[in-house]
Amino acid sequence: MPNNKPAKQPEADRKVLQRDTTPHIFRPINFRSVTARNRIMVSPMCQYSAADGVPNDWHLQHLGCRAVGGAGFVFTEVVHLEPRGRITPNCLGLWNDEQRDAFKRIARFIKEQGAVAGIQIGHAGRKGSTAQPWEGGKPLAADKGGWTNIAPSPIPFAEGHPVPAEMDEKAITQTIAMFAAIARRAREAGFDIIEIHAAHGYLVHEFLSPLSNRRTDRYGGSFDNRVRFLLEAVDAVRSEWPEEKPLFVRISCTDWIEGGWDLDSAVKLAQLLKAGGKVDLIDSSSGGLSPLQKIPVHPGYQVPFADAIRSKVGIPTGAVGLIHSADQAEQILANGQADIIIMARAMLNDPYWPMHAAKALRAKFPWAKQYERGDIF
């Protein structure tokens, strides 16, 4: 007998036809096997509060509180490859097992709160060996605990800064091997995502920019040579970082200096990273290479970089920099300018920013059970 009843619409199709009214920033997002509950990321923020690179109670409460606050991704500050790769003697490191074991508790706690636990890894290069910002942030003399920095070329960051030691090929090979070692310990510590810090004038960025890299070997000169160090670092990380776990890269999309690294170079680099298939998101920041930079700072001033890379390369991007309001963040995602919103200072100001943004955007967002009774405004 013919069945004249209209075909039942499958559940999945009906869902597609219904308009998703969830604000974009509160829609879950997947990278490889990892799903974040929303698209808000706590940006890496140095706390300059460690001894011997080991995370402590300060780091647990700083990151833990922001995971409780509802962010989808909570990233550690930059965690360094080796002692002389630190910005200050009080920065974090992950070159030994004691550090790894101390990170385990932090990664576990972030995940227990429903956030994705991310770790940013990097090397300070010629910008290492400085005092904590609240101690003036100036280069540290050896008798005050300072050390000799390394860099692609012996060019100081600024006047009054020491000349770094030029890395020879052996130092480059050893540093690349450290990227593999830190990825292994990050995996053992239980992190979900690694972000390579290739921005803000630190070691990897120093290789990228023609202003700080004057090498004449295969790590300097042409664009292909200047990006080699980062590409090798990506390969090294991937050799120890499981295929099912995502890898992000933070880059400076411009030096904001005539003749320096610029957006065209950033797009070309993003194309290479996409083609390699090992990197899942470009965290699109800028600047930091030299005090000569001229940055036209205004709300969302780096969003066009995330937008350009996303549209020209077709790789997911994160927008960062002076994104403070829920409406602004929502608009960036609704416009398709980025895939996630990355926030630093607003998160320092208000660890519960995601909970408050949900309220402002009338999104349903569960509070931590212990804090439900605080939901009174």
Site for ligand FMN in 14-43 (CB under 6 A): 43
Asked if 285 interacts with ligand FMN (CB under 6 A), we say: yes
Cα separation of 205 and 215, whole Å? 14
Asked if 131 interacts with ligand FMN (CB under 6 A), we say: no
- The amino acid occupying position 122 is G
**Shortest distance (Å) from residue 180 CB to ligand FMN:** 21
Is residue 301 annotated as part of the catalytic site, yes or no? Answer: no
In the 8-state DSSP scheme, what is residue 125?
G
Quick one: which segment of 44-52, 56-64, 97-105, 265-273 binds ligand FMN (CB under 6 A)? 44-52
Cα separation of 185 and 45, whole Å? 20
Asked if 322 interacts with ligand FMN (CB under 6 A), we say: yes
Residue from 15, 154, 345, 366 binding ligand FMN (CB under 6 A): 345
Q: Pick between residue 48 and residue 220 the one whose CB is nearest to ligand FMN.
A: 48
Quick one: tokens of 176? 């690349």
Q: Nearest CA to 191 among 122, 96, 117? A: 117
Phi, psi of 48 (to 5 degrees): 50, 45
Asked if 346 interacts with ligand FMN (CB under 6 A), we say: yes
Cα separation of 283 and 319, whole Å? 7
Residue from 260, 300, 318, 321 binding ligand FMN (CB under 6 A): 321
Cα separation of 256 and 222, whole Å? 20
Cα separation of 252 and 343, whole Å? 16
In the 8-state DSSP scheme, what is residue 88?
S
Q: Pick between residue 220 and residue 317 the one whose CB is nearest to ligand FMN.
A: 317
Quick one: which segment of 1-9, 95-103, 208-216, 339-347 binds ligand FMN (CB under 6 A)? 339-347
**Shortest distance (Å) from residue 50 CB to ligand FMN:** 12
Asked if 288 interacts with ligand FMN (CB under 6 A), we say: no
Supply the residues annotated as catalytic: 202
